[in-house]
Amino acid sequence: MGLSEEIRQKLINSFKIEQREHIQEISQGLLALENNPDSKERQALLQKIFREAHSLKGAARAVGLSTIESLGHALEDLLLSAKEGSRPNFSPELFDLMYQALDAVELVMDRLESGDSTPPAKVLALLSRLEEVRETEVTPTNERFDGDEQEGEPTTQPACDEKQSAAPMKASQETETSDQSEVQSQTVDPTTMADETIRVSVSKLDALMAQFSELLGAKIRTDQRLAEVRELQTFATEWHKDWLAVRNDYTRLIRHSDHSPYLDDSPLPVNGSGKEVKALVDFATKNKERLRSFSTQVNTLYRQFANDTMRLSLIIGELQEEIKRVRMLPLATITPTLARMVRDLARAQDKQITLTIAGGETELDKRVLEQIKDPLIHLLRNAVDHGIEWAAEREASGKPAQGQIVLTASQQGHNVVITVSDDGAGLDLEAIRTVAVRRGRVRSGELQILDDAEVARLIFDSGLSTSQIITDISGRGVGLDVVRQNIEELHGTLDVSFEPKRGTTFTMNLPLTLASSRGLLVKAGGQIFALPLSTVEHMLQVKEGALTGIEGREAFSYRQKPVALVWLADLLELPQSQRDSNQLTVVIVAVAEKRLGIIVDELVGEQEIVMKSLGKQLVRIGGIAGATVLGSGQVILVLHTADLIKLAARSPSRVRVESDGRRPETNKRKTILVVDDSITTRTLEKNILEAAGYEVKLATNGEQALAILVTDGLPDLVVSDINMPHLDGFGLTQRIRQEERYADIPVILVTSLDSPADKARGIEVGADAYIVKSSFDQNNLLETIGQLV
């Protein structure tokens, strides 16, 4: 009696999960076999892959998927011949054919999910080739089973459709019978297993996490109630203090009332009666007892409530960690597909490449794991296409013919660090510079002052690619931009380092989990918002007088680096709040190596946030990630930090920086040459001087500065660092003083060297001023310049 359709569908749903695991194990085994292991390891790998193919075949038969059963049987037969020694080695072409068989299984399952149970012609043709390979080696077609047949494709099918697969099925039955004892002998004793496992749907875990979010929200409200009880306790304490202040008066009144003739029924000589005074005294007496009882009850309630809240917090914290742990998956969950991709790309480009994966057991939240898959794919494709050279090139440069790509992962605190390294040619900085200018990313004049690290980071710009031709692998300039965007979405950081001719390394620093977060509550435009605390780098007060400008935008110096400033109310198009102080409250946020100073009206506090979606109608609101509920029941918006940084780049600035009133009008067009090998310092000084009305020229060292003096005319003043390559600030100043044409140009040395000997040396070579960076102040610099020019 056949299975009912309902039961069969349930079995197929289970098979979908099982077949993915079998295919993943087979794929990993084949990749390991291609690395030419020793004979002992090779036999172990063949045995493992054989069991997986055998299990795939048996599971497909149980649910009536005869095409997949035949594919499994064909793989099993090839692996069996290798195990028994009749096929000592697999050729690259035969590996291709077995990978195509795995792709075919997935294609059949995709067709089945779409409601089409007819096997594609490609799969039937592949089954025919797998049968032929028993007698002779095959010529690969390099087909990928990632779609149905194209129009005009031959549809001639070998005698191997669903009805005609009886022969393979019969053979598979014989093989299954002959190998039954072998499979059983490999069964693990359940008593030796460390953990028992069950399959749990991801949707059920997501639902559990949603319910936990509600529980976390209840905990936040409980904390708010505890704070209210604390306020009640404070109120009782204050009330008791007030009572103590009048207790002596009350005592005298009691003492006097025992002898007063006005406390009987006789009329008082003043307004009122003795009964009224006695009633007040009695009320005060009862109030004293009630206050004592009330204070005792409130204190007891607070202690018990605090204990219960603490216990609840501990339980919820442990539950939260357990749920997070359940959602954690090892990186190895996605690496098999990456290894297969690298292998196929290398074959397609005729390159010899080995991918090594270390730290595959490192666990990440499922959501983080899903979002880093695309970045890893792009980085690995980039390494294959741009990084690793062809074998002849590598051998000519003294390298092994086979290139190495290494993917490593490790947990560091609450973060996971993932690196993708290759031993290829490294980054071609000159090509990056050329493309950057051609694409309009930077101007040619600005390019000269960028150091190598800053040029290297240009590769993350959208549309920038050094590939000479657009291919399906690279050349569009979107791959590394996708990497950057995905890392930003995860509130992580991304960096690149390289050695010319030795290789390139991309480093991703990611949060371990996104299951919950803490938020910084800020107020702007009369409303409260939450900023994810993971993106908040620093909070500080800044005087308006300390602001400068960057390209017409407010900025200030933070850790000797210029940071742009933006008003949160302006970004969110909220009304401006009135302020009485010239102190600005600034929250510095950082995402993927980008910093922004956000000016807010007030810092409200910090709390754990449970973010809720705003729904499909509001999913595209810029700068908003979702909403959360405070313990008071108030609903507030959670800000999206990466979006805010993008909005800040496009929004108009509320410029508050004005020209220095102490500067003469004639100073506006004075030219100043800034010489410093640090791009940060150059940029900071350039922005300060341009905001003050000066025209600025830049140089990275003394030799370049002298060349500018020759070719671009004489500046009105030179501001120079001391420690620089080629020609330092002392040498530059000395050369300026030795040349008659330059001798009258004022020179200001701005340096971190603050010893008396260094200052004496500055005077000796003829510097007009010496400013130490540790005590650097832009007003001091402007005043000094004003005096000299």
Residue 742: partners with Cβ closer than 8 Å, 6 or more residues away: 709, 714, 735, 736
Query: What radius of gyration do the chain's Cα atoms show?
Result: 38
By the 8 A CB rule, do 493 and 391 touch?
no
Sheet with strand 594-600: strands edge to edge: 536-543, 583-591, 594-600, 561-567, 553-558, 548-550
User: How large is the average pLDDT for residues 170-194?
Assistant: 39
Q: Would you state the pLDDT for residue 409?
A: 92
Residue 303: partners with Cβ closer than 8 Å, 6 or more residues away: none
By the 8 A CB rule, do 743 and 755 touch?
no
| CATH of segment(s) 665-788 | 3.40.50.2300
Quick one: which of 578, 599, 604, 577 has its CA closest to 589? Answer: 599
Q: CA of 680: how far to CAs of 363, 560, 677, 706, 713, in Å?
A: 37, 7, 9, 21, 25
Tens of pLDDT along 380-436? 988 888 889 888 889 888 899 999 999 999 988 778 899 999 998 888 777 777 777
Tens of pLDDT along 131-162? 877 665 444 444 555 544 443 343 333 333 43
Tell me how crowded residue 563 is: count the other CB atoms within 10 A of its CB: 21
Quick one: which of 330, 340, 449, 466 has its CA closest to 696? Answer: 449
Q: Is the pLDDT of residue 180 over 50?
A: no
**Which residue would you say has higher pLDDT here, 661 or 302?**
302
- Residue showing tokens 């319910």: 211
Highest CATH level, class, for 351-511: alpha beta
Its pTM surpasses 0.75: no
What count of residues does the chain have?
Answer: 789
Q: Is the pLDDT of residue 186 over 70?
A: no
pLDDT confidence tier of residue 587, bands split at 50, 70 and 90: very high
Q: Is the pLDDT of residue 177 over 60?
A: no
Task: Supply 89's token pair.
Answer: 């080695």
Domain residue extents for the chain: 5-181, 203-329, 351-511, 517-650, 665-788
- CATH of 517-650 among 1.10.10.10, 1.20.1050.140, 2.40.50.100, 2.40.50.180: 2.40.50.180
CA angle 3, 4, 6 (to 5 degrees): 125
CA dihedral 738, 739, 741, 743 (to 10 degrees): -20
Topology of the domain covering 5-181:
Four Helix Bundle (Hemerythrin (Met), subunit A) (1.20.120)
Q: Collapsing DSSP states into helix, strand and coil, what is residue 440?
A: coil
Q: CA of 363: how far to CAs of 325, 360, 420, 510, 690, in Å?
A: 9, 8, 17, 12, 50
Tens of pLDDT along 665-702? 434 478 999 999 888 788 888 888 888 888 899 998 99
Tens of pLDDT along 448-488? 666 677 777 777 765 555 544 333 344 334 457 778 777 87
**Which residue would you say has higher pLDDT here, 782 or 673?**
673
Quick one: which of 617, 652, 622 has its CA closest to 640? Answer: 622
What is the residue-wise DSSP string for 690-728? HHTT-EEEEESSHHHHHHHHHHS---SEEEE-SS-SSS-
**Which residue would you say has higher pLDDT here, 172 or 396?**
396
Burial class (CB in 10 A: 0-12, 13-18, 19+), 703: middle
Give the rounded percent of residues in the chain with a pLDDT score beyond 70. Answer: 76
Distance CA 559, CA 561 (A): 5
Give the rounded percent of residues in the chain with a pLDDT score beyond 90. Answer: 5
Query: Which amino acid, 585?
Result: T
Least reliable range by pLDDT among 30-39, 204-213, 336-345, 380-389: 204-213
Q: Is the pLDDT of residue 121 over 60?
A: yes
Choose the most confident range, by mean pLDDT, from 163-172, 513-522, 648-657, 730-739: 730-739
Q: Would you state the pLDDT for residue 102?
A: 86
- Residue showing tokens 């007040």: 280
Q: Would you state the pLDDT for residue 403?
A: 92
Q: Would you state the pLDDT for residue 662?
A: 36
Identical fold, 351-511 and 665-788: no
Quick one: which of 31, 785, 605 has its CA closest to 356? Answer: 31
